[in-house]
Each structure stands twice: as structure tokens, then as C-alpha cells.
Amino acid sequence: MSDELEKLTTESHENVSVFDFDNFKVPCIIMDENKYDELISKIAGKPVSINTDLNIMQDGLGHVFVEIVLTFSKGGTTEKILINANKHLNFFQSLAGSSMLALSSPKSHYGKENVFMIQLPRPEKANDALKIISQGLEKINK
């Protein structure tokens, strides 16, 4: 494994899931409890817009990583989450299918309480990303 691939693998956020919300499969990023509480305290009760970017990194050999960048209009907060698409393709499939993203903490997620939902402003970007991810992953299956 190359040094860069090993670095991306090590830095990847593994705590992601997909859950059912009104018959939609919604991808969820489960954040550290303290980080989640800090983020929510900055934006709670305020009108907030969230810019969502998906930065796709691939090596041409079938290894695909996606950096999700969430920029919140309130609280001066930007969160960057790196996800290994090879391991979590269903996460990106549900992102494209629902156009929604959830954030939660481990404590909140298991009780399905206190989940912060984000509606993607440009759903076509998630579909475009899924196509790129799928094309990149096809190389591993050849």
C-alpha cells in the first residue's frame, strides 16, 4: 500500500451508517459526542444554511475516498469528514437517493434522537459524485 493510500485509509471516518427516515435511506455521519454537542450548540435555534461539497479522490486503481465538507453559515464552523467509498458505497448510494445527510453522536444515533438533518442544496451533485465513485470502484472489480 502506498504511503498516501495508507494515510487516507488511516484518516478515514469509519463511523457512518444508513437509517430509514420516512421510507428514505438516509446516510448518517456519527460524530464524536463532544464534537457533535459543540457543533449543535453553535447553531441551535438559529437559521442556518449549510454548503455541502463532495471532494472525490481516487488513484485510478479503484481506491476512492470522498471528503465531505460542511460549511455552516452560523458559528464559523467547517467540518471535513473523509470517507472511504470502497467500504461505504451504500452511504453514497443513499446520499444520492435521499438528497439528505444526517449528523448524530453515538449516544443520539442509537436512540434515533437528536439527529441533525441536512437537505442537500444541489441533489444532482450527489448523483454526479455517485457516478464518479462507481466508475472508480469498477477498476477494483476488473
Q: Note the pLDDT tens digit of each residue in 117-136.
A: 999 988 888 999 899 989 88
- How many domains in the chain? 1
How many Å apart are CA 22 and CA 126, to the nearest integer?
20
Q: What is the pLDDT of residues 72-93, one digit of tens each?
A: 997 778 999 999 999 999 999 9
Q: Which residue segment(s) compose the domain that 19 sits in?
A: 3-138
Average confidence (pLDDT) over 135-142:
75
CB 66 within 8 A of CB 51: no
